[in-house]
Amino acid sequence: MKLIIAGSTGFVGTELVRQALLHPRITSVVALGRRETCIPAGVNSEDAKKKLIPIVSQDFGQHSDATKKVFEGAGAVIWTVAVTPFKLKDFPWDEVIKVSREDALATLKVISKVNSSTTSPSQPLRYIYMSGFHVKRDRAEAEKNERLKQMPLMLDYIVMRGDAEQQCVDFAKQSNGKVEVAITRPGLVQGPDRERRSIPGVPDIEVEEVAAAQLEQVLNGFESEVLGNDDLVRIARKAWEARGQA
C-alpha cells in the first residue's frame, strides 16, 4: 500500500512514519510536512530511503501538480494536522479553522480526484481524520460538559473539529464507494522524551498506540466510523499481540 501521512513531522506523524517504514505491507510513504521529513531513529536508512517520499508544503490546502502526481496510486491517507488545544491561543481563529478543517477536506478532495480512476468500491481510498477526545458534532451535546461551557474558545474549537469530521464523512458518503472515512479521537497522547501532561477527564494514550492503531485500520479496513481512545488502545495491542510484540 502507498500511504500518505499528512503532518509527518509532528509528534504523532513522526511515529506514524517510523512504524509505516517498518511495516512490510506498506510499500511507500508519502510524508507531507511543513519541513523536510527525516528518517526516524531505529529505522534502517537504506531500506527507508526506498519507501520514503518527503514533500514539503507550507499550505496543505493547496497542492502543486507535482505533488498531485505523487499522490497518485495512494491507498490510504492519515490526516494528523491540526492546531492543538495547547496552542489554540497562539493562532488567529481563521488560521485554526483553515489548518484543522478546511485543509483536511481540501486534501481529501484532491487525493480522491487524482485517484478516481484507480479506486473502486472493492478497493476504496481509506482516509483517517485524527480528531480529539472531547470533539462533538452537535453544540448542544458539547455544552453538556460543564467544564467546557466555562471555556468558550475551547467549546468553539471542539464543535469546529466536529464539523470537520462531518464534512469528511459526508464527502465519503457521496463518493459512491470510492472513499471511506474514519474518525479517530485519541485522548492525551503521551510519549518518551516528552513531558507528561494531564487533563481532567481525558485518558492517556501512548503515541506508539495511536500510530499502530491507525495503521492497522488503513491496512485492514475500518471497524467503525468513529474510534475512541479505548478503541485505539485495544486495536494497537491486538495488532502487537498478533505479531508477537505484546
Look at residue 237 in the predicted model and tell me its pLDDT. Answer: 95
Class of domain 2-242: alpha beta
Look at residue 105 in the predicted model and tell me its pLDDT. Answer: 97
State the CB neighbour count (10 A cutoff) for residue 238.
14
Q: Which pLDDT band holds residue 20 (cuts at 50, 70, 90)?
A: very high
Look at residue 121 in the predicted model and tell me its pLDDT. Answer: 58
Q: Which pLDDT band holds residue 245 (cuts at 50, 70, 90)?
A: low
Summarised one tens digit per residue, pLDDT across range 144-184 is 888 777 888 899 999 999 999 999 999 999 999 999 999 99
What distance in Å separates the CA atoms of residue 89 and residue 229, rounded to the nearest whole number? 25
Tell me which H or E stretch contains 28. strand 28-33
